[in-house]
Amino acid sequence: MNHSHSTLSRSPASSGSTKTSARQGGLSGWLAAQLPKLVMAPTFVIIFVCIYGYIGWTFLLSLTGSRILPVWKFVGFQQYEKLFENERWMVSLQNLVIFAVLFIALCLLIGMVLAILLDQKIRGEGFIRSIYLYPMAISFIVTGTAWKWLLNPSLGLEKLMHDWGFESFTFDWLVNPDMVVYTLVIAAVWQSSGFVMALFIAGLRGVDDEMIKAARLDGASLPTIYRRIVLPSLKPVFFSCVVILAHIAIKSFDLVAALTGGGPGYASDLPANFMYAHAFTRGQMGLGAASAMVMLGGVLAILIPYLYSELRGKRHG
């Protein structure tokens, strides 16, 4: 059918007409004009139903007292009140703040330093880069499993240090409610810092060489060149990284599931784990929906200003 269509609309071309097929009259012309929209229709439906429609649906659910099954009896914003009185939720929010701030800061720092180090005409750069980046290719579940073993208080890194003669070394963060959230940071930074490095290397390669050469001739030192010329021109990359890392942090779920299981107790829960537990295993659908809406609010608070500045920047550019 596609083929017959293309031959149909091709025929006027032989007569030397410069009109596009869309401007011809008749059914086939109309169809040709509508074709792009028809092709997009399934995606259009998906966006409106499965993304924006479902958000509305979740919002409505969050206004009900639903437990195991949806019950359409509205209770106003009670679930949100319950949510913010819930100790476990507050712990998960607090964890998210600690986790996100440290995760983003460390990934940026490590990624940026590695990118600059690799930018010094390193022999075997491609190979080294691929070592720094491979954790990005594996699942957070695998990462969590690996670090659960490494951080095992009696057999992992702690035992290694004892074997090496540091008998007093203790590293029990995995079972210490006050420290367990930092184990998430360690594993997540290991997995994602290479990503920041990759983005920054791509950015560094885009910096105008002439400017650097000119600065060199003026006698500027390498650190000065990076500080004054190179890094300022990478501001967009920097913001992209922050937004993407923040996004990874907010949706972090699998790492917690595999590494700590949210424990000890619920000391290392993140909002996504709270949402899953209440919506799907504890029969607290309304509360789960409310927590999902709060998560959405958090993401939008970061995303909308970012997209806005991006789009505005492009229009002016």
Partner 1 sequence: MVEAPMTPVRQLARYGLYAVLALVAFIYLMPLWVMIITSLKDTEEIRTGNLLALPGSFNFDAWVAAWSSACTGGTCEGISTYFFNSFQIVIPAVLVSTLLGAVNGYVLSFWRFRGSELMFGLLLVGCFIPLQVMLLPMARSLAFFGLANTTTGLVIVHVIVGSGFTTMFFRNFYIGLPQELIKAARLDGAGFFFIFRRIVLPLSTPIIVVTLIWQFTQIWNDFLLGVVFSGAETQPVTVALNNLVNTSFGGKQYNVDMAAALIAALPTLFVYVLAGKYFVRGLTAGAVKG
For partner 1, which stretch binds (CB under 8 A), given 87-95, 99-107, 171-179, 272-280?
272-280
Least distance between partner 1 and beta carbon 307 (Å)? 7
- Binding segment for partner 1 (CB under 8 A), chosen from 81-89, 94-102, 176-184, 246-254, is 246-254
Q: Please report the DSSP string for 85-127 in residue order.
A: H-HHHHHHHHHHHHHHHHHHHHHHHHHHHHHHHHTTT-TTHHH
| Contacting residues for 240 by C-beta, under 8 A, at least 6 apart | 199
Select the residue interacting with partner 1 from 97, 101, 109, 141 (CB under 8 A). 141
65 touches partner 1 (CB under 8 A): no
Q: Is 251 in the site for partner 1 (CB under 8 A)?
A: yes
Distance in Å, CB of 55 to partner 1, minimum: 5
Which of these, 110, 122, 77, 128, lies nearest to 290 by C-alpha position?
77
Residue 139 sits in the site that holds partner 1 (CB under 8 A): yes
Contact window for partner 1 (CB under 8 A) among 72-80, 82-90, 101-109, 121-129 = 121-129
CA distances (Å), origin 113, targets 117, 193, 203, 288: 6, 10, 13, 40
CA 55 vs CA 72, 150, 258: distances in Å: 16, 39, 28
Query: Which residue among 135, 184, 269, 270 contacts partner 1 (CB under 8 A)?
Result: 135
Residues found in the chain: 317
Binders of partner 1 among 74-113, rule CB under 8 A?
none
Tell me if 221 contacts partner 1 by CB under 8 A.
Answer: no
> For partner 1, which stretch binds (CB under 8 A), given 40-48, 71-79, 89-97, 171-179?
40-48
Q: What is the size of the binding site for partner 1 (CB under 8 A)?
A: 112
Among the listed residues 26, 51, 87, 316, the single contact to partner 1 using CB under 8 A: 51
Q: Binding to partner 1 by residue 235, rule CB under 8 A?
A: no
The answer to whether residues 212 and 116 touch, using CB atoms and an 8 Å cutoff, is: no
Q: How many helices (H) and strands (E) does the chain have?
A: 16, 0
- Given candidates 184, 279, 284, 287, which one binds partner 1 under the rule CB under 8 A? 279
Half-sphere exposure in the Cβ direction for 306 (13 Å, CA): 17
